[in-house]
Structure 1
Amino acid sequence: MQFIQPSLWWFLVPLVAAPPIIHWLSQRYPKRILFSSIEEIRRTLAGRSRVFRWRHLLMLLLRTLALAALMIAFLKPVLDSGNDSKSKGRNVLLVVDHSLSMNHGEGGTTARARARAEVKRLLDALTPDDHFNLIRVDQAPAAAFANFTNRSEAALDFLDKSPVPLTTADFRAANHLATDLAKDSKSPPDIYYFSDFQRRDWASVDFSDLPEGSRLFFVNATDNPARGNQAISSLELGAGSVIAGGEVEVKARVANHSSIPWSGKIEAGFSPSHLREKELSLAPWSESDVSLNVPVPSGGLLRLTAKLPHDDLPQDDTRHLVVQVRDREEVILLTGSQADGAAPAPSLFLSTAVDPFGDEKGVYRPKHLEPATLTTASMAASSRAIASRLPLLTEGQAGTLVSFLRGGGGVILFLDGEADAANLEKIGSLAGEPAAIRLTRKLGSENLPAGAMRVATGDFHSRFLKLFDGVRRQNLALLEFYDLYQAAPTGRGKILLSYVDGTPALAETSVGLGTLLVCNFSVAEASSNLARQRLFPAWIHEMLLRMSDSGSAALDPYFVGDSVSGETWASEARGRQLVSPDGPVARLRTDVVGERLRLSFPASSTGFYRLPGADTHDLLAFAVNTDPDQSDLRSMDPAVLPDRAGTRHPEASLVTSASADYGVLLRGRPVFHWFILAALAFLILEGVLFKKPVRTA
């Protein structure tokens, strides 16, 4: 008889001495009795009799045997089943975890390396009559051989040449594959699971389909059930357009899967020369969203990367995203009559705010357009417009603006014209929904307290007011407005800013896919001091940027193991080769449909897959990341798995010690349950033999 848990021997053996020690300590010593007592004399004489001493020795023996039986049961004894090299041998299935979590470094090695070492020990313990097969468990489990074999070196070579684990492990699918492999076996196989038993992968494992009577063994590849890890679990863009030469808000979610606090920095950018970084601190077992404003160097398909300092699992410290960046964008300046005495026209201030640098250096390029030339064709190349000093619009002109908005365009409308009330009502009527505010009469400085009006309140969670976060909100107090419309909310849309008397100053209305911002003020010098403030160009840019959602600019990323596909013009792709993070893509399928070329391939590595174009831009680009569910490395308690195996597999057991003898496991028959029954029998026998009689009065 041998033991599966021999390491517990020296811990449990001293416990056998407990009954003799207790017996020795509980011996009776002479008692001094002050008054005579016949009962005490009888009890003393009985305790000194030979029968009483043998009775106590028998009780001591039974208790010692019961404790020894329990000790042996904890050592998990096995008996030789007689299935030695002279017999037909056993069929053995080795199910090896090949998920991302197995890459975690621990004590100078990884769970994957420890599992590989245990696999080799098991293979070395097989006899020439034993046969085995090996299943590598990742997102799509695969067997090393079509049938059971005894080619140990080929099995180890299969593991060594497998790619670095980067996916989840589907043990339900692995069990189905094990059932298929064992269907022609004459006897139930022995199945060994080598894993770190990460909770995400093992939470829903089912053993009911395995051949009945299979012996299941669970070999733990890690000693730490709560391994620490930090990871970037998601990467996305904030609201707003992504335009070459500007900046874009990058949002990353960072997770601390650890029992201790973590502090570090995250850096993100489109290239090493355009990186931005930020310090952050995370509490144990927590996540946090981090925002960085990253410069956009050029147009086209750009590759965005966010990184954390490398830890013991470096594969999830980096996140990738492909972003479609537009080149310098055209902004329509729709202005009416510019007559304003000797003062500069509002269009001059607006044009300077849209393109403050000139010489085609800015993010936006202004295009001046008069209301008389307002047509669908004249606005086709733009997605943003600023309107000021508008005359009374015709039905056709107002319809053009509504169509522009419904198609996803954005319009900033300054209320500084004589027909703004009628124009706003006409736009609302054609849109099928009134604007956020209704205008009544125009107020000049003579109608305002102290000759000017100031902003008092606002919805500073709005994307159009990000410029006024925190202490920068005090910049609004510098603004003075000398003429505006008396207005009231309609209950539709949102009121973003209000004057001190409650009159709406800035309102947002959604029209189809687009956004209409109504500014109840003017940028003309005679109407406000807004154009003289340093924040004016920045605010105009902020409103233009937030007009559209940048989510469409970010292409959906993939996980390792996903099937990736895309298409481009066949003429542009001719002679080009798809490049992966590890080099040219070997498993690539191409289909030509008309003038288009469609590509599809499996993603096997993290990073960027791209099809280079004739210039420095990519024709196609794809971002591939690890599954964030794999970053939480906490393990489930593998001791519950033998119970989960159910009555179909009564000999399931956990192998917790690296010193376990696989030869004993292969050819042994567990008998620990008999020792538990023996311990119970000894205790019952003691209770029967030494039950105290009940005396009657």
Structure 2
Amino acid sequence: MQFFLANPLYWLLAAALIPLIVHLLARSRPKDRKFSSLYFLREVISRQVRIFRPKNRLLLLLRTLAMLALAAAFLLPYIGGHVSDLSHVRNVIIVLDTSASMGAADGQELRMAQAEQTVTKIVNELRATDKINLISAGARPSALFERPEQARQMVLRELSRLHSAGEESDAAAAVRLAVEQARSLPEGQSAEIYVVSDFQASNWAALDYASLVPDKIPVRWVSVAQSPKLANTYISAISTIPAKALPGQPVTVNVTLGQCGKAPVRTTLHLEGGSLRTSQVCEIPANGTTTASFSIDAPTSGSEWVLTASTDPDAFPADNERRTILPLNDRLSCQAVAADPLHLGTMLRALQSIPFLDCQIASGPGEHAPDFLIWNAPAAEDVAVMEEKAREGAVVLAIPDFSNDTAANAVMGYKPARAQLQVAENDEKWTLEIAAPQDRVFRLFPDNTLSPLLTSGVYRRLNNGLQREAPQHATVLLRYADGVPAIVRRPVGRGAVILWNIPVHPMDTRWGSSPLYLPFVAETLTASRMASDAADDIQPGAGYLSCVVPPNLGARDIILQNDQGELLSTREVKEARRGMILQSETPAEPGLYTWRRKDDPSKILATQAVNFPAAESVLETMDTSVLPQGIITHKEENDRLDSAERRDLCPWCIALALLFLAAELLICCRASGKPSDNQPTP
């Protein structure tokens, strides 16, 4: 084994000279005295010199060794370690994956615990003169220092603080940050990069390693994953239909479950929200997913409803729960776009009669998307605006220009093409039939309830040039008896676009005189609202919580609490679209958060849910053979470090110093207590 001191040895030599200097300066210089005869004194002195000279040399040796041992203790000596050039300073950059999958139990320990052990050994292998930096590879990778520093103890303290967070890892950004720091070192210095991770496929498989890591920079890829795929049951999504509900309105809650295992799994799915408690048993296929649906009624009071879906906990419980928040509104906004309100005919009367609608008439769409947008006689170029509003969450109902249509096919999802008007001849009338009886639009109308409305008669419609079948993902709700589509709904983003190929002028149809017309229009609009969109979810570790400051309150009047009741720091941010908002100072972590009034915390202004990232639930590693410079397991890396493990000699040096000082004290005590030869004996 190699004995190595972290600092130059001349400090030890300087410390060893201290006892010698003290010894020389402390030598006694007796004064000259007149005496009658020196014969007997010379004999006594020569005898004492023969006795005390070896003792003094021994004391000098013990004191010198004690000082050497104390000086060595402060210089942090150790036994072992790799042989290296004392003049060469190593620059080590460690990238530590802190994503959610690192919190999975793999073998006897969590992956994160195994990673911390490996990083600790890498740090302890370094000398005090070596430089090091630690980069946490989470959703927003960050480095402890701007460049590698001589700060092993600070790195170890930061390592003890890090944990597996409920977020994805921006692996590319973390590796890129490490490479940039390696390239920024002064000329003549080089860096080593360690990447310690489980290399989960969702975070690492898509990286372009050839362009990300230069060949001249050595990188050690250390995997802490013992199993390429771990069994896990999880909830990946929860959504409501509609995304916003009226008090007491029927709501469908869809929950997607998945599992990574070789055999089907049966689990109990629970749904809770306020006073609601319900559950059902679900069977998830091997390595697959399934969707469970709950049909419930929204509460009759309140402004929002927090729904929580959960399964029985397993070895990786972080993804066994998911939340969604259903806004509750007493009234919904509706905007009718028409050059002349009279052109909306029976549709406008129906909209104005629906009690939960606030209907406004305008010549064009507004800046913000309403809940419902009724567009009379759109042109082909207006379809792009309709789709934009639908992506923002609106349900757009398009009533074509029956005399000069150019937009009907585009509304259905096809390329713009002119559709021609067809007028019923003589006493002929067209009747309609339900084309999608299982659609939620017809849930309120069982059996043949709608028959009087469907058979009341239509005398004008678009036919020639209009596509007969709906494109993929679109649904024909009503169809004429001869196959011409009457009402077609196409999902777009968070909303939908509806083609209403039924005239609204009283002279062209008898629909407006039917008592079923009003409830059917209302149900078509409300039931066509799409599910809440997962794209609105706040990304853990990267997104921030936010709340619009109400006009009657100031930023200081609002507080933010997590589900443990702890207050979180916020800051004011001004946005162009929403105006002044409050935003959390740190990225959000999975949990439930509430914005409350400071003077009355019982009043909740808004609630936000941050869910576990679904991609982290599939605990499957990437194909590590594509990694440049090869990969090693954490066990192989630990074995390599253990073979060159350094043992700290500082405690031994202190013990030796105390031992030498004790020996010196013992010798001094024995010498002072022993009678000299010239003393008289009793």
Give the TM-score of the pair, scaled to structure 2.
0.58
Deviations 1:185-221 (A, max 9, x none): 8443333322111122222153766676554333221
Which of 555, 560, 564 does residue 540 from structure 2 map onto?
560
Residues 1:96 and 2:96 aligned together? yes
1:150, 1:282 → 2: CA distance? 52
Q: 1:540 to 1:125 in 2, by over 3 A?
A: same
Q: Which residue of 2 aligns with 1:598?
A: 581
Counterpart mapping for 1:495-534 below 5 A:
496-497=477-478, 507=487, 516=500
3-state SS in 2 of match to 1:569: coil
3-state SS in 2 of match to 1:230: strand
- Give the partner amino acid of 1:567: V
Q: Which residue of 1 aligns with 2:328?
A: 325
8 Å contact 2:274–2:305 — kept in the other structure? no
- Give the partner amino acid of 1:219: V
Query: Cα distance, 1:291 vs. partner?
Result: 3.0
Which of 455, 461, 464 does residue 441 from structure 2 map onto?
464
Residues 1:662 and 2:641 aligned together? yes
Q: Which residue of 1 aligns with 2:526?
A: 545
Deviations 1:78-120 (A, max 9, x none): x997417x56463333221111110112345310111112222
1:655, 1:330 → 2: CA distance? 58
2:154, 2:138 → 1: CA distance? 19
Which of 275, 289, 297 does residue 287 from structure 1 map onto?
289
3-state SS in 1 of match to 2:609: strand
For structure 2, which runs of at least 5 residues remain unmatched after alignment? 2-79, 336-348, 409-418, 471-475, 491-495, 504-508, 647-682
3-state SS in 2 of match to 1:266: strand
Q: 1:664 to 1:301 in 2, by over 3 A?
A: same
1:537, 1:485 → 2: CA distance? 16
2:88, 2:609 → 1: CA distance? 52
3-state SS in 2 of match to 1:96: strand
3-state SS in 1 of match to 2:558: coil
Which of 293, 310, 313 does residue 310 from structure 1 map onto?
313
Q: Which residue of 1 aligns with 2:197?
A: 195
Which of 545, 566, 571 does residue 552 from structure 2 map onto?
571
8 Å contact 2:238–2:322 — kept in the other structure? yes
Which of 227, 232, 235 does residue 232 from structure 1 map onto?
235
Q: Which residue of 2 aligns with 1:83?
A: 84
Q: 1:268 to 1:230 in 2, by over 3 A?
A: same
Q: 1:503 to 1:181 in 2, by over 3 A?
A: closer
Query: Cα distance, 1:562 vs. partner?
Result: 2.6
Counterpart mapping for 1:329-408 below 5 A:
365=355
1:112, 1:660 → 2: CA distance? 18
1:240, 1:175 → 2: CA distance? 39
1:286, 1:502 → 2: CA distance? 42
2:407, 2:203 → 1: CA distance? 52
Residues 1:609 and 2:593 aligned together? yes
Query: Cα distance, 1:275 vs. partner?
Result: 4.2
Q: 1:537 to 1:230 in 2, by over 3 A?
A: farther
**Total equivalences in the alignment:** 500
8 Å contact 1:568–1:620 — kept in the other structure? no
1:488, 1:287 → 2: CA distance? 47
2:105, 2:247 → 1: CA distance? 41
1:432, 1:209 → 2: CA distance? 48
Q: Which residue of 2 aligns with 1:119?
A: 119
- Give the partner amino acid of 1:572: L
Give the TM-score of the pair, scaled to structure 1.
0.57
Q: Which residue of 2 aligns with 1:629?
A: 615
Which of 277, 294, 317 does residue 279 from structure 2 map onto?
277
Q: 1:523 to 1:97 in 2, by over 3 A?
A: same
3-state SS in 2 of match to 1:578: strand
Q: 1:663 to 1:181 in 2, by over 3 A?
A: farther
- Give the partner amino acid of 2:629: A
CA RMSD of aligned residues (A): 5.4
3-state SS in 1 of match to 2:548: strand
Query: Cα distance, 1:597 vs. partner?
Result: 2.9
8 Å contact 1:411–1:517 — kept in the other structure? no
Which of 214, 219, 244 does residue 216 from structure 1 map onto?
219
8 Å contact 2:405–2:420 — kept in the other structure? no
8 Å contact 2:193–2:219 — kept in the other structure? yes
1:428, 1:548 → 2: CA distance? 29
Q: 1:126 to 1:436 in 2, by over 3 A?
A: farther
3-state SS in 2 of match to 1:175: helix
Counterpart mapping for 1:639-658 below 5 A:
639-641=625-627, 644-645=628-629, 656-657=635-636
Q: Which residue of 1 aligns with 2:9?
A: none
Residues 1:254 and 2:237 aligned together? no
8 Å contact 2:223–2:632 — kept in the other structure? no
3-state SS in 1 of match to 2:553: helix
Q: 1:480 to 1:504 in 2, by over 3 A?
A: farther
2:163, 2:645 → 1: CA distance? 30
- Give the partner amino acid of 1:557: D
Counterpart mapping for 1:439-450 below 5 A:
none
Q: 1:588 to 1:478 in 2, by over 3 A?
A: closer
Q: 1:82 to 1:507 in 2, by over 3 A?
A: closer
- Give the partner amino acid of 2:141: P
1:189, 1:91 → 2: CA distance? 5
2:145, 2:396 → 1: CA distance? 65
Q: Which residue of 2 aligns with 1:14?
A: none
1:366, 1:213 → 2: CA distance? 68
2:371, 2:540 → 1: CA distance? 36
1:220, 1:655 → 2: CA distance? 6
Q: Which residue of 2 aligns with 1:27?
A: none
8 Å contact 2:118–2:638 — kept in the other structure? no
Q: Which residue of 1 aligns with 2:155?
A: 155
8 Å contact 1:603–1:624 — kept in the other structure? no
Q: 1:274 to 1:301 in 2, by over 3 A?
A: same
1:384, 1:81 → 2: CA distance? 72
